[in-house]
């Protein structure tokens, strides 16, 4: 018996893999979805997310979320940390690619009418995924604490703050004071690495569960 068979049998004895795996592994992917590259966009967005999570963990090992240290730590990642520049640049490009892929995925779902009954709720979850993804971008933009980061966030929070009714609370929650500063930076960091990942993982679980239960919609 080969090693892989031995391991399979050992697991099978305990977890009944023989009953569990076939529905997952043999589940057919419909051919119209396999042959049309437009159906790759959701998967591409997901792959980008996985790359972002991995590179993000490495960045978090060197990044320091305080106004005094943030810029220096990013500079250090770019100049001194081995592969640091590559990791940060891949994080940067994966973020932009993910947003583009999510937008194109949404456009494909819209024009194929894939949001129609019974998939209405998956579209709603999708819109929240889109919001979460762009908020990831918004919060990550501030973290290097360079001129662009600071001033773009200043304007961005200003705009969000002038939304009627909700605005003042949004800007209070985001800025944590009267002006951008240490509070803002730690908040944005917490949002970027704790709150949004938890949110997106929950939403993705729902999203994929619904796709799995309802199947991919067919026909153009």
Partner 1 sequence: MAMTNKELHGTEEHEHEPVRIRGLPFFPHFLLREVVVMCLVAGSLILLASVYPAGLLKPADPFDTPSPIYPEWYFLYVFGFLKFWTYNIGPIEAKIIGVTVPMVLWYGLLILVPFIDRNPSTDIRKRKIAVVLGIIALLGILYFTYYSIVYH
Q: Which positions touch ligand HEM (CB under 6 A)?
A: 39, 41-43, 45-46, 102, 105-106, 109, 114-115, 119, 122-123, 126-127, 129-130, 133, 204, 207, 211, 216-217
Q: Which does 94 bind (CB under 5 to 8 A by kind): partner 1, ligand HEM, none?
A: partner 1
Residue 11 token pair: 């697991």
115 phi, psi to nearest 5 deg: -90, 0
Nearer Cβ to partner 1 (150/197): 150
Site membership for partner 1, residue 61 (CB under 8 A):
no
Hey, CA dihedral for 178, 183, 184, 190, is it positive or negative? negative
Residue numbers 134-163 binding partner 1 by CB under 8 A: 134, 137-138, 141, 144-152, 155-156, 159-160, 162-163
Return d(Cα 128, Cα 142) in angstroms, integer.
22
Radius of gyration of the chain (CA): 21
Residue numbers 118-137 binding partner 1 by CB under 8 A: 119-120, 123-124, 127, 130-131, 134, 137
Q: Which does 45 bind (CB under 5 to 8 A by kind): ligand HEM, partner 1, none?
A: ligand HEM
Burial class (CB in 10 A: 0-12, 13-18, 19+), 136: buried
């Amino acid at each position: 018996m080969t090693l892989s068979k031995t391991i399979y049998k050992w697991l099978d004895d305990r977890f009944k893999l023989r009953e569990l795996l076939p529905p997952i592994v043999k589940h057919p992917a419909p051919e119209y979805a396999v042959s049309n590259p437009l159906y790759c966009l959701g998967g591409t967005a997901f792959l980008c997310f996985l790359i972002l999570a991995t590179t993000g963990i490495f960045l978090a090992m060197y990044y320091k979320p305080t106004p005094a240290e943030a810029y220096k730590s990013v500079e250090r990642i770019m100049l001194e940390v081995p592969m640091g520049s590559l990791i940060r640049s891949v994080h940067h490009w994966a973020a932009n690619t993910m947003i583009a892929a999510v937008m194109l995925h949404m456009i494909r779902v819209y024009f194929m009418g894939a949001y129609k009954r019974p998939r209405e709720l998956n579209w709603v979850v999708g819109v929240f995924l889109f919001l979460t993804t762009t908020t990831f971008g918004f919060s990550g933009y501030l973290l290097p604490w360079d001129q662009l980061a600071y001033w773009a966030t200043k304007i961005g929070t200003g705009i969000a703050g002038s939304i009627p009714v909700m605005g003042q609370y949004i800007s209070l929650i985001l800025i944590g004071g009267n002006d951008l500063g240490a509070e803002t930076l730690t908040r944005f960091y917490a949002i970027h690495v704790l709150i949004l990942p938890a949110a997106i993982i929950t939403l993705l679980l729902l999203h994929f569960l619904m796709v799995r239960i309802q199947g991919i919609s067919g026909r153009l």
